[in-house]
Amino acid sequence: MNDTLTLDVIGRRVEVNGEHATVRFSGVVPPVAGLWLGVEWDNPARGKHDGSHEGIVYFKCRHPTGGSFVRPNKVNFGVDFLTAVNNRYVLEDGPEEDGKEQPVTIGNKPVETIGFDSVVKQQSQLSKLQEISLRNCVVSCAGDKGEIAKACPNIRRVDLSRNLLSSWDEVLSIADQLKHLEVLNLSENKLRFPSGSPSLAGTFPALKVLVLNRTGITWAEVLRCAPGWPVLEELYLKSNDISISERPADVLQTVKLLDLSSNPLIDENQLFLIAYLPRLEQLILSDVGISSIHFPDAGTGRKTSMFPSLQYLVVNDNQISQWSFINELDKLQSLRALSCVRNPLTEGGSGPQTTRQFIIAKIGQLKTLNKCEILPEERRGAELDYRKAFGNEWKKAGGHQDPDKNRPNEEFLAAHPRYQSLCLKYGAPEDGELKTRQPFLLKNQLLTLKIKYPNQVDQKVTEKQLPDSMTIQKVKGLLSRLLKVPVSELLLSYESPKMPGREIELENDQQSLQFYSVENGDYLLVRW
């Protein structure tokens, strides 16, 4: 870079010794002669001051140590899109020796070509490329108009993250030439977005996935640009300090996945502004600081009209500490999967297994929790344990085994919205189930079970007492010794008088009888 610079450099993104910055000043800084650039670093620890020198303010920084003065010849203003593509993908042809593999260079790095011929051939022909990654390749502009379309007409997926793009207009200049573009990652480019509506003529006609993490975009700018994404399905807006300020009107209507993670200004009231996106199936709200949510249009036990298509919700790393949050999620009519880890509620003293059981019991339609499938046996066990755990509280609140007398108060129903439906499903808890257990007396942990052998007509039904903490593996070991049958051949299941006609397999040898909610009087079925 020569020492003759104009004001055009102000706002440009640059790289200096591997660090990214934005040019905020160009000019002389007395008493030292020559031209200087004042830059604001992305990493404030890299800087020395706030844009001032000897009492004179040359530019301003958001951080008191975010600025530096550097000489123009130390600054890299980047390259155009095609130059970066050529640097990474175009291979120089050289003379080949008979019977020998020739080393090639990709991005200035030698690469072995053994077993790589087809890849080399594809990468050397830009016109056939459909996916390219230019992450951290100092791309700053589109280059000459029309050249990208001429060289790379079939590109569908582009990673332009962590480059030197400084404006949305420059992005449009690239995108206008990629008519088949379906996936675009622009993360970690500090972009200036238009203050008015950008030109929409065929901007992103095929774009389905757009990643704008750490770009500095605001919600108003999202809505302003969104008309240019007519078929967008996935939008990632992580770490932008976004505050949802208005309801999307006639935009983002095709979006199925929205990632708003690490935007700490978002609260539950703002979420209501996006609650009627008709196709939104996945909402990622990790690390936004949310602690509560309430759907005002739905009372206890009813479904909300908000988020009608939402199937998967992620609320990891938040401040959720009350079960009322989980109760509200049962109101979402389409919710099937939830991820809720590293919250005060899930990190509390009740233990991860108990917390998991309670969440399953509280959200009736949930199929997956924290990326683990909820099998029918686990749901049944969780709901029975929940029903038992709060049975005494239910009785004190006015609950009764007689349906005509079963009138728990509103406070209990608000805290346990599904309890009544669980009583209908499994029957109201009986007094014998609700006796306080004395954990240190073995007799209070023993189950009296009747053992049947459906495939062995000569075997009589027997009765045994087993600890509820006994694992299925140990039960099999005991039966193996009694029956003289190898453990590997034994198949166990059980039936409960409370659920006649249904047989539950005990398929996990590491789990206990208690895990499967085996109770006194149940039948243990043994086959081999």
Largest CA distance in the chain: 106
The type of residue at 43 is N
Give strand pairing partners of 339: 314
Q: What is the CA angle 298-299-304, rounded to 5?
A: 20
| Distance, C-alpha 82 to centroid of its chain | 33
Which spans in 160-280 are helix H? 168-175, 219-225, 268-271
DSSP 461: P
Is the full-model pTM beyond 0.85? no
How distant, in Å, are the alpha carbons of 398, 399, 421 from that of 425?
19, 15, 6
Half-sphere exposure of 106 (CA within 13 A, CB side): 14
DSSP 270-296: HHGGGTT-TT--EEE-TTS-------T
- The CA radius of gyration of the chain, in Å to the nearest whole number, is 32
Q: How many angstroms separate the CA atoms of 50 and 59, rounded?
A: 8
Question: Do 433 and 388 contact (CB within 8 A), yes or no?
Answer: yes
Phi, psi of 73, rounded to the nearest 5 degrees: -75, -5
Q: How many angstroms separate the CA atoms of 278 and 298, rounded?
A: 18
Q: Tens digit of pLDDT per residue, the chain (528 long)?
A: 444 455 589 999 999 999 999 999 999 999 888 999 999 999 999 999 999 998 999 999 999 999 999 999 999 999 999 999 999 887 544 444 444 444 544 444 454 444 445 444 544 578 888 999 999 999 999 999 999 999 999 999 999 999 999 999 999 999 999 999 999 999 999 999 987 766 554 489 999 999 999 999 999 999 999 999 999 999 999 999 999 999 999 999 999 999 999 999 999 999 999 999 999 999 999 999 999 999 999 998 899 999 999 999 999 999 999 999 999 999 999 999 999 999 999 987 677 888 999 999 999 999 999 999 999 989 999 999 999 999 999 999 999 999 999 999 999 999 999 999 999 999 998 877 776 554 444 444 788 999 999 998 888 889 999 988 888 988 998 898 888 889 889 999 999 988 888 899 998 888 889 888 899 899 999 998
The two structure tokens encoding residue 75 = 């600054």
